[in-house]
Amino acid sequence: MNKKKKMQLAVDLFLALLLIAVDQTTKYFAVTALMNQKPRVIWDGVFELHYLENRGAAFGMLQDQKVFFVLIALIILAVILYVLVKVPYQKMYTKLHITLVFIASGAIGNLIDRIRYDYVVDFLYFSLIDFPIFNVADIYVTLSSIFLVILLLFVYKETDLEFLSFRTKKFRDIK
């Protein structure tokens, strides 16, 4: 691994630590200011801060499946780490790096909660559309996953992602 690639991974790590710190800080404030309190209305009829201990996944699915969620998060993080290490050091992959770091940071933020509390702290609620209560890590994962799909469908060509292939050139030429 060359020096530029190591620097890129160091930047990825720094960004991840920063994003995780922001997520954990907002959750800390949610716990200290919102737990056992009435929801705080920020914009009447639209948005409020509402403390919730989420023991499931999105929309409350799969309640009390901590081991499952921890395993899935570890698998996702391993795949992301693999991709980040394999991505060539080229400017065209910067968006991919940032997107994957956001997904990993959100996964780690919620993983910390699951391991620490056995639930994820959620506190952001759009009452206007009665959207499920969520947190900053959920924002990272959701928006960056959407962006990842856009990158894979409209930005990168299949040949741009060949570095992810487990097959070597020798095996591709055999076909």
Catalytically active residues, by annotation: 122, 138
- Burial of 81 from C-beta contacts in 10 A (0-12 / 13-18 / 19+): middle
**Which residue type is seen at 44?**
D
Residue 143 Cα to chain centre, angstroms: 9
Is there a contact between 66 and 110 (Cβ–Cβ < 8 Å)?
A: no
Q: Tokens for 151?
A: 């990158």
